[in-house]
Amino acid sequence: MQNKLLMYKWFFILFSIFTITVSATAQNCDCESNFEWVKQTFEENDAGFQYVIDRKGMPEYEKHNAVFLEKIKSAKNNYECAEYMNDWLQFFRKGHIGIEVLKNDAVENLQKDIKKFPDWEKMDIDTLEFKRYLDEKGVLDFEGIWNGGVYTVGVKYTDNQYVGFIINSDAAGWEPGQIKFRIYPDSAIYYMSNHSAEKFKRAELSDPNLLSFDDKFAFFRYYPKQEDKFLESLIDKKPYLEQLNTQTLYLRIPSFYSQYKVYIDSIISANEAKIHSTKNLIIDLRYNGGGSDDSWNSLLPIIYTNPIRQKSAYFLSTAINIETLKQYRSENFINRLNNNLGKFVLLHPNKYWIKKFNTVYENPQNIAVIVDEYCASSTEQFLLAFRQSKKGKIFGKFLKSPLWGTPPPQRTKTF
């Protein structure tokens, strides 16, 4: 398995063993052999695999595999292959797991497949003229230039619909001018990476700078460029702190991924005196899909009023999972995993543990945490801890499937 793992250069795979990451890559390898590797690796290392099989039954799983094997055999490039595999994974769950084509592979495929759909319907719009039109218009609606990870699209209103057309693409098979989606008053059509059409109930501007299709895809406004600190943090995932008035601070945290822990801790440490001398604190967690529980540990002394009861997690002990966990967990826990291969191992000695601090700070006296339906995973873990505090309330809505299918926001290219 270890040698097989080193051979693959196509996909980054995220297995949900309470967030375990496995890097896999493949060169000169067809989709079918990649699928067989993914399937075997998932079956052997995913903590929830057997639970789903017990609940749905092996016959349903075998039927599911047979259907997707035929689709995978028809994959024409790595993008279609990754898309089929992601659909295959939906049998188990919709979150905490996914497959993406690596960047260097994207460039290779772009060169191979750029003319794959030469007759696809296009909109011939000059980008500079379109920008001038947007400047004169001065109104923020669907029209504009948007970035959705590998796609930069323009959106123009014509014939009672908004049409999204490619300006720039790092995805195989898409070239400038080709129509990527259509937005109607009561629905939307989005053309997937393989140009197949998927219908959505709605496309909406949930924010003037955020265009979303149901809960699956999202695009961020690039032009007309708006000064929007919230949007900037959504793209670069870095937190920030603002003083709204003499009595209120605003702390924006867009991600709890482990690589952003240092930024969260730094902001809290640099502003500790200010935080503990200000009456009100707003913590904005909108669009925070989670990450690592360690990333919000520095928030606990701020919200603390009484001992916080937290639940431990079980980890499935396998060679791949252990290798991944080495960078996140203590040597003691790694040793326990090694001594219990094939078993579920508790992270902490007990199923529940109590977090205590010596100090309950007078300030902030009132804490408001803002959430939305895209808050998930570790963010929800933080909310469970926060609900035990007497200092504040949660505002917004959550416990809805997040944008698992949305590519991570990236900064757009300059035209």
- Please tell me whether residues 366 and 250 are part of one structural domain: yes
- Please tell me whether residues 380 and 240 are part of one structural domain: yes
More confident residue, 27 or 173: 173
- Please tell me whether residues 197 and 138 are part of one structural domain: yes
Per residue in 70-123, pLDDT tens? Answer: 999 998 878 788 889 999 999 998 777 888 776 555 445 545 544 568 889 999
User: What whole-number distance in Å separates Cα of residue 101 and Cα of residue 34?
Assistant: 12
Residue 115: both structure tokens together: 């003319």
Q: Are 93 and 48 in contact (CB under 8 A)?
A: yes
- Please tell me whether residues 237 and 218 are part of one structural domain: no
pLDDT at 414 over 90: no
Does residue 209 lie within any of the structural domains?
yes
* Listed residues 178, 194, 223: the one ending a domain: 223
Q: Where are the alpha helices (DSSP H) in 187-318?
A: 229-236, 261-270, 272-275, 300-303
210: Cβ contacts below 8 Å, ≥ 6 apart: 218, 219, 220, 221, 231, 234
pLDDT of 45: 94
CATH number at residue 255: 3.90.226.10
DSSP track, 338-387: HTTTTSEEESSSSSEEEE--S---S--SEEEEEE-TT--THHHHHHHHHT
Q: What's the alpha-carbon Rg for the chain, to the nearest Å? A: 23
For 47, the domain range is 2-113
Average pLDDT over residues 268-277: 97
User: What whole-number distance in Å separates Cα of residue 344 and Cα of residue 49?
Assistant: 13
- Please tell me whether residues 82 and 36 are part of one structural domain: yes
Does residue 354 lie within any of the structural domains?
yes
E strand or H helix that includes residue 60: helix 58-73
3-state secondary structure of 271: coil
E strand or H helix that includes residue 217: strand 217-223
- Please tell me whether residues 243 and 355 are part of one structural domain: yes
Share of the chain above pLDDT 70, in %: 85
User: What whole-number distance in Å separates Cα of residue 59 and Cα of residue 14?
Assistant: 26
- Please tell me whether residues 83 and 146 are part of one structural domain: no
Per residue in 41-56, pLDDT tens? Answer: 999 999 999 999 999 9
Query: Could you give the angle at which helices 78-89 and 58-73 cross, rounded to 10 degrees?
Result: 170
Q: Are 375 and 286 in contact (CB under 8 A)?
A: yes
User: What whole-number distance in Å separates Cα of residue 238 and Cα of residue 234?
Assistant: 8
E strand or H helix that includes residue 128: helix 127-137
More confident residue, 285 or 399: 285
Provide the number of structural domains found in the chain.
Answer: 3
